[in-house]
Amino acid sequence: MTSLSLPRLLRHDLTLSWRRLCAFLRAKNDAQGFAVIGAVVLALHGAGWWFATSLTQAAADDGRVFLMAAGMVIVLPWLFSQGLTGATRALYSRGDLDLLLSSPLSPRKILTSRALAVAIESFGAVGLFLLPIADDAALQDGAVWLAIGPALAATVLLTTGLALAATLGLVALLGPKRTRSVGQVLATLVGAWFVILAQIFNFLPADWRAALHAQMSAPAPGGLFDPATPLWLPARAAAGDSFALALWTLLGLGVFIASIGLLGRAFARGALSAAGDAHAMPVACAKDRGFRCDRAGALRRKEWRLLARDPYLVSQVLLQSLYTLPIALVIWKALGGGGALAVSISPALVAIAAQLAAALAFLAASSEQASDFVASAPVSPREILRRKLEAVAAPVGLFLALPLGALAWVDPRVGAITLGFALAAAASTAALNFWKPLENRRGDLIKTHAQNKLVGLVEHGLSLCFAIAALLACLDLWQTILPIGAAMGLLWLNAPRPARMAPRAA
Amino acid sequence: MTEQPAALRLRNLHKSFGKKAVDGLDLAIRPGEFYALLGANGAGKTTTLRMVAGLLQPDEGEIFVDGIDARNDPIAAKRRIAWLPDEPLLYDKLTPLEYLEFVAGLWGMKAEEAGPRADALLRRLNLWEQRNQRCEGFSRGMRQKTALAGALIHAPRLLMLDEPLTGLDAGAARQVKDMLAEQTRAGVAVILTTHILEVAEKLADRIGIIAEGRLIAEGDLAHLRSLSAAQTASLEDVFLDLTGPGRHSVAGAAA
């Protein structure tokens, strides 16, 4: 009797990936999933047409290699982040992995299949956005643009191999327990890097950009901007240089195969230690001390402890703030830079307050792990809600205290306006999440908007309204009342109406 | 001398989820009584307990806990109740000690009373060594014992347990049974649902059998046997006999 072949094992892993995607897309069956993906691909081909036009134009002006280099700076961390997420999931997806590791399959075969599945997932996630643009560019400017596809595939192999090595290195270095959190946080941070990088060139001062442009136009031989150097190999590959593409593909394949060949046993060891960790007794994390039994404090402390002990969630929440920073830069640039810094930071801080409060309110309200237990306690729902709001407000306040203080020191009027709007924005998005709770696990924080698009839209709408209102108020414009009115309208539309208790089957 | 109120009294309790889940249930449990509520899956046991715990609104009927109308004053009623569902309601990221501190806070206990009581419960349930470890790595049995400690810390007058022995090893099950017996001796009323009929047979003062939301038989084992064909039958035989197809019309049999 022979054990499962690699193609069949890969098919199994890809089926699981596909089912996860269908669940994310809320597709009820495979046909619906294909239909949704097909529609998205078609729509992206349509939407990407004008972008492809500007790309081909830019390529004609600046050279395709420089354009591809800029793209690679963004895509490489994105793919590495995808690889890290996939590798962490591969190590910690218990039920399935326990079954595979207890079977007569070799660890290397399991790792090969998992790694290929991770690579295919990453290719799909990034290719979904890039390849339609490449197709459009090819239609407009020639088939050379199609080289982006194989270059992307080679990049995926390289980053997946590196991500696997990094994850298993973390297991060896930090142990399985910490690797999970650190790996997820690292993946998110690396992923965020591409968002910042995507914007950074636009935000550089004009003289910096000019200098950079001059260096790229006439690069010093062997220097950082010389496309002939090995550093530019991926860019040349994506730009359609056949020799570079062949080399890049060989490099990607080599790293991927080497990582599987060298790490097969380490993967099995890592997976087994991760499994052991799931069943192991956790280390002590608190010291004996006196009991504190005030009801309000008990409710608040519980929320803070749960938040503080989930570094992945905290990183997700803080990353939302990171994504908000480009807004400040856009406004700062729009206002002409220089002394307008305080005014440009104000809406960003308001938006951060709104997003942080929303995320923390979701964690406190929707992902209550023992909601029935809390409901059975002799505490009114109103008090529970109040204490949870307090618990949410404290970390938001703590996080924003320093930038708000700095803002008030630079410009007290702008500081006061920002504080007022930040409070209003935080209270409104927190209230929205308490009014429209989603029954979700804490780890599903980033999926909440996909699951309830209306709440997500309203939440972003509220953030935007209060951020715009803060900006207009800082500029002393009467139009401030318009976004405030819009925010009030959104809140009124979503305020709770008399509701009955949800039935629950016996 | 005034008569002590029933620890739990249900009158004509109704609940429907489209289909009737609880259908005119009457029940009275005395302080210090160990009452086993038996029934097939979907008979209405959990729905009944959830209504008493204040997690579901009855469509009709009355619930009195220790003489307090739970529908009019749910907070006062909840102060006297502890509810332990079949799936322990714990926080993975909290330690047992922190969990008990949280529960004591929710029930408004005094710190000087709650601290020693938590220590005693954790020692008694063999959780002392793990008191500062997070619950996320606990076995099912340890989670169940932690939840039981949470249920007992605020000294309830009515203890409601839904399948409390599921997943416990023999030693832990014995510990839990001993603790429940102690509770009844201290005057706490215990209402327990279980599919392990041997537990009900050995521990319960009275047994209620529920089917399709109605109490079809109630009494001690001898009384239930008298309702069944075989006088020397085990509780399992009696239960299967009374809840078998076409046998739900013994409502008048409640003693």
- Say whether pLDDT at B213 is over 80: yes
Which of B47, B115, B133 is the closest to A284 by Cβ? B133
Token digits for B110?
A: 């005094």
Look at chain A and report how many structural domains it folds into.
Answer: 2
Q: How many residues does chain B have?
A: 255
Total tally of structural domains belonging to chain B: 2
Of A279, A288, A298, the CB nearest to B106: A298
Q: Contact at 8 Å (CB) between A156 and A255?
A: no
What distance in Å separates residue A165's CA from the closest CA in chain B? Answer: 27
Beta strands B8-17 and B206-211, pairing class: unpaired
Element holding B234 (H helix, E strand): none
Bigger pLDDT: A184 vs B52: B52
Q: What is the pLDDT of residue A502?
A: 42
* Residue A256 and residue A361 share a domain: no
pLDDT of residue A504: 41
CA distance B229 to chain A (A): 30
Task: Report the distance separating Cα A86 and Cα A167, nearest Å.
Answer: 10
Instruction: Check which CATH number belongs to the domain holding B31 and give it.
Output: 3.40.50.300
pLDDT for B105-157, tens place per residue? 888 888 889 999 999 999 999 899 998 888 888 888 889 899 999 999 999 99
d(CA A329, CA A307): 30
Q: Are residues A198 and A311 in the same domain?
A: no
Extract the tokens encoding B90.
């714990």
Q: Provide the token pair at A347.
A: 């809406």
| Domain-embedded: residue B183 | yes
In a shared domain, residues A263 and A303? no
Q: A416 and A365 in one domain?
A: yes
pLDDT of residue A506: 38
Could you say which of A286, A372, A377 has the minimum Cβ distance to residue B106?
A377
Q: Are B132 and A372 a contacting pair at CB < 8 A?
A: no
Q: Is B213 left (phi over 0), alpha (psi -120 to 50) or beta?
A: left
Q: What is the pLDDT of residue A278?
A: 47
The whole-angstrom separation of Cα A437 and Cα A453 is: 13
- Residue A253 in any domain: the answer is yes
Considering the domain architecture, whether residues A157 and A16 belong to the same structural domain is answered as yes
- Asked whether residue A244 falls in the same domain as residue A320, the answer is no
Nearest by CB to B55, from A297, A302, A375: name it: A375
- Chain A interface residues facing chain B, Cβ-Cβ under 8 Å? 278-288, 290-295, 297-299, 301-302, 305-306, 309-310, 369-370, 372-380, 500-501, 503-506
Same-domain pairing of A274 and A301: no
User: B177 and B139, same structural domain?
Assistant: no
The CA-based angle A94-A100-A101, given to 5 degrees, is: 85
Q: What pLDDT is recorded for position A497?
A: 64
Q: Which residues of B touch A283 (CB under 8 A)?
A: 133
Task: Look up the ipTM and state it.
Answer: 0.72
Examine the domain organization and report whether A253 and A395 are in the same domain. no
Question: How would you classify residue B163: left for phi > 0, otherwise alpha for psi between -120 and 50, otherwise beta?
Answer: left
- State residue A451's pLDDT score: 52
Nearest CA in chain A to B99: A302
- Residue-level pLDDT, tens digit, chain A, 506 residues: 556 688 888 888 888 888 878 877 778 788 888 999 999 999 999 988 988 898 888 877 667 888 888 888 888 888 888 888 888 877 776 556 766 776 677 777 888 888 898 899 889 988 998 999 999 999 998 888 999 999 999 999 999 999 988 888 887 787 766 777 777 777 777 776 766 666 666 666 677 777 777 777 777 777 777 878 888 899 999 988 999 999 999 999 999 999 888 887 777 777 666 655 544 444 444 555 677 778 888 888 888 888 777 766 677 667 666 666 666 666 666 666 555 667 778 888 888 888 888 887 777 776 677 778 888 888 888 888 788 878 877 887 888 888 888 888 888 898 899 999 999 998 898 888 878 766 655 555 555 555 556 777 888 889 889 988 998 898 888 888 999 999 999 888 888 765 444 444 33
What is the radius of gyration, based on Cα positions, of chain B?
18
Name the residue facing A291 among B54, B83, B114 (closest C-beta). Answer: B114
pLDDT of residue A283: 46
User: pTM for the whole thing?
Assistant: 0.67
Q: Choose from B63, B91, B112, B138 for mutation: most chain A CBs within 10 A.
A: B91
Final residue before a domain boundary, out of B155, B173, B196: B155
User: In whole angstroms, what is the distance from residue B12 CA to residue A276 CA?
Assistant: 52
Mutate which of B49, B56, B106 to test chain A, going by most A C-beta atoms within 10 A? B106
Query: Are B49 and B172 contained in the same domain?
Result: yes
More confident site: A42 or B234: A42
CA–CA gap between residue A47 and residue B115 (Å, rounded): 64
pLDDT (0 to 100) of residue A347: 86
Assigned token pair, A38: 């097909």
Asked if A436 and A449 touch (Cβ cutoff 8 Å), the reply is: no
Neighbours of B240 (CB within 10 A): 15
Nearest CA distance, B99 vs chain A (angstrom) = 8
Residue A105, domain member (yes or no): yes
- Domain residue limits at A351: 295-494
Q: What is the pLDDT of residue A284?
A: 47
Contact at CB, B137 and A278, closer than 8 angstroms? yes
Q: State the pLDDT at residue A275.
A: 58
- Between CA B11 and CA A501 the distance in angstroms is 21
Instruction: State whether residue A255 is helix, strand or coil.
Output: helix
Is residue A383 located within the same domain as residue A465?
A: yes
Convert A332-356 to b/e letters by CB count within 10 Å (16 or more is b): beebeeeebbbbbbbbbbbbbbbbb
What is the domain range of residue B47? 1-80+158-219
